[in-house]
Structure 1
Amino acid sequence: MCDRTNATLAGHSHGQAGVSPRAQQHRPEELVGVGESLAAGGAGELADHARQEEMRAAGLRLVQMIRMGEEQLVSPEEVCCALRSSGTEEPLAWLQTELPQMLDSIADLASQKGHTMAQDQVGPVSRDEARQAWLHAAGDFEEAVGECVRSRAHKFREICAMGFSDQQEVLQALYMNRGDVDKAVIDLQRQLLEPFHTHIWQEDEVSIQLDHPNREVSGHGLGSGGYGKPARRRG
């Protein structure tokens, strides 16, 4: 084989074996892109770590506030609702100073919504009912008003289904008993039976005739002074 052929084959083999050192070098813009990707990944990890630490600290604060609330006989639900309603880090103080006014506002707005119904099924709402609605709504004011209306209307219909048809009496009984259906029904039954009880007492009433010589008790045949004759003592 001649020298020219050998040189040609050698050059061809060298070209297939690898790439020249200059071809293996990265372009500057490629290196910049890789650096930016690494920096972005590191920043994202730092942000996630900071977010996790913030959530952990908030959880610890909440646990501490719940424990403080339990010492003051405040339920965890009330503490969480107060945090949402107040937006402050002092829910226990807010419960004492601001919550009563908020509950009154919830009760008033619920009653006003009842007035807009074709038949008022809400009537006056007690503060206790407003508190229950506030807790059920997890501290959301508007939702608490709606829950208060729905709950009272349901109780009204429940009692009316038992045969009590006087709207004002039903609503008043619910208000006086702070939304307790069982107690409200007992009061309504008492009102229905009151005339009957009065009539019975009038029939059984004993009339004492003080102007009679023997002061007899009418209808009982007792002796003088309203007493029977004393029993004779045996000798």
Structure 2
Amino acid sequence: TYVDTARIYGNAEEALGRLIPSRRERIFLATKVWCDNARDAEASLTESLRLLRTDYADLVHIHHIGDKNLDRVLAEDGVLAYLRKQKQAGRLRHIGISGHARPPRFLKMIETGEIDVVMPVMNYADCNIYNFEGLVLPECRKRGIGVVAMKVYAGIKGGFPNHRRAEVGCATRPDLLPSALAYALDLPGVSVANIGPYTLEQALQNVEFARAYKPLTRQEREILLAEGATLAQQLGPRYGPLT
């Protein structure tokens, strides 16, 4: 079972820490560090592992890579060098990058040869805005890099969520949610669709969508992409710059 969390997700790591120890071998655990240097990354990862009650993470992302100073990230005392050392020490098994904007920065990180997994925004609407599908996904397939699609429902109205609120407005109409998930899972090279529910009801609904998943027909895909083009005009580049 793939479990995704991060230090900035409210009390998520602490809550998961109550469940993980008895299930650790059945969970692929991903967390993140929101920083560009080794010192802050050490503090973040150490606290994450403490809260999660484990001595290693299966995957650690450099969180929101599109907003980071890549010169700092790639420096000798940068976060990437730190994660490499922690991978060698066994505190993490895979290095990833996640983000919502600036696809070219993903490509620069991929060129280091040290990225095992990427987690970008990929959905039927933002393919018209950020287009990670066309700009980053082909390079991942070429290099054998794992891909986790996030924001598969096009996120929430307004862009970034408030993690302390349960009531949020999803950008995708309820009747289109199964098709939106299918769009992400249909993308060649995508292994995981990462969906962040706010309620137990939403989580159970997502499980049912996943169980019922079937690849979109050509007609279904055309209808969904037409809806996505219209939605993209309404949403705009809400996650940040394109380059």
Using structure 2 for the length normalisation, give the TM-score.
0.18
- Greater helix fraction, Structure 1 or Structure 2: 1
- Greater strand fraction, Structure 1 or Structure 2: 2
Using structure 1 for the length normalisation, give the TM-score.
0.18
